[in-house]
A = this chain, B = another copy of it.
Amino acid sequence: MQKINIILVGFGRVGQAFYELLKEKYDYCRERYGLFLELKGIIRKSGAVLLSGTRKMVSEAGAAGEEKAELSSWVQTFSLVDLLDEFKSGVLVDCTPSDLVTGEPGYSLIKTALSRGWHAVTASKGALVVHPSELEAEARRNQVALKASGATAAALPTLDLGLHSLAGAEIMAIEGILNGTTNYILTRMADGLSFSRALMEASEKGIAEPNPVQDIEGWDTAAKMVIIANKVLGTAIKLSEARVHGINGLTEEIMTRAARIGKTIKLIGRCSRETPGEPWKVEVGLALLNPDHPLAAVDGSNKGIIFYTDCMGYIVLSGGKSDPRGAAAALIKDIISIYWRDF
């Protein structure tokens, strides 16, 4: 049995989903993995709050009232460093918004945690695509984990597959449908809808974010593929080095023509290289897939990834909840994987 201190930064949709799922999963994680996952504090832009730990929230009578009281007492007086030093060791859970240009605030927060010997798990992409090598180096220096399942297609375990399940195999190329919004739009356009109607539908259904420009332009796909490539292949590619085309400009006429020749149009993120030894490249763009391509059937807001290997053939992974609850589940999975072994 092991007690794990958790500090959460960011309390938007994913942060709140993590907070709720942690309470829901507290007993299960204790029974199954011998881990007491104790949320000790939350930091958001407007302040911080100290918590008495998840056990108290889920088990004590009257805890709901207390929890509400705790959660309402945000103060400006705690900084991340205060909290890290107060609890000595544990995991920083980063749910701050992804800024793909500056990498902040995630970069500074994660770096601070790693440098103090804390593990970090993140659902945020910015830090890892702007400063790919700095954070990895900081984690190595302090011999702590830096995990990013929540930033690389949420509940779809793209990093686990590439890093652990394919261990020993050499990866020749990676291809993925990594953005639910654009895949939903393309699926509905294949059904005959115009781009703007399909986008509107995605917004109405809560699949598209209020400002989906990074999805539409391919940057969200590119950021995920960059993180996957860097983690799995050991590269240090920056998002600014990726060649990125989105789905903007796609017309009904192009969709119809693709259908006429029996092909499916998908927005594919790809990491490949010309020959072994050459540098790896990340590209995002529309691709015409044959119907028997393993990603051709990944429809709607679903995601999928395929790893081509030297001795394991190709392996395809698809599905996985991509809402805030799915991302929260990926964060909890990453925490468990830091502390739990199956023997």
Contacts and interface: CB of A to CB of B under 8 A. Distances in A.
Interface in A4-39: 21, 24-25, 28-29, 32-33
A343 B147 CA distance: 10
Interface in A295-332: 297, 306, 309, 311-322, 325-326, 328-330, 332
Contact of A315 (B156, B163, B340, B343): B156
Contact of A313 (B28, B146, B155): B155
A169 interface: yes
Nearest to A328: B311
Interface residues of A, number: 57
Contacts of A166: 157, 333
B313 A294 contact: no
A343 B145 CA distance: 5
B319 A315 contact: yes
Contacts of A50: none
A58 to B, nearest CB: 15
A164 interface: yes
A130 interface: no
Of the candidates A32, A160, A166, A168, the one having the most CB atoms from chain B within 10 angstroms of its own CB is A168
12 contacts: A25-B168, A155-B309, A160-B160, A161-B161, A164-B164, A167-B340, A168-B329, A168-B332, A313-B322, A315-B318, A316-B316, A316-B318
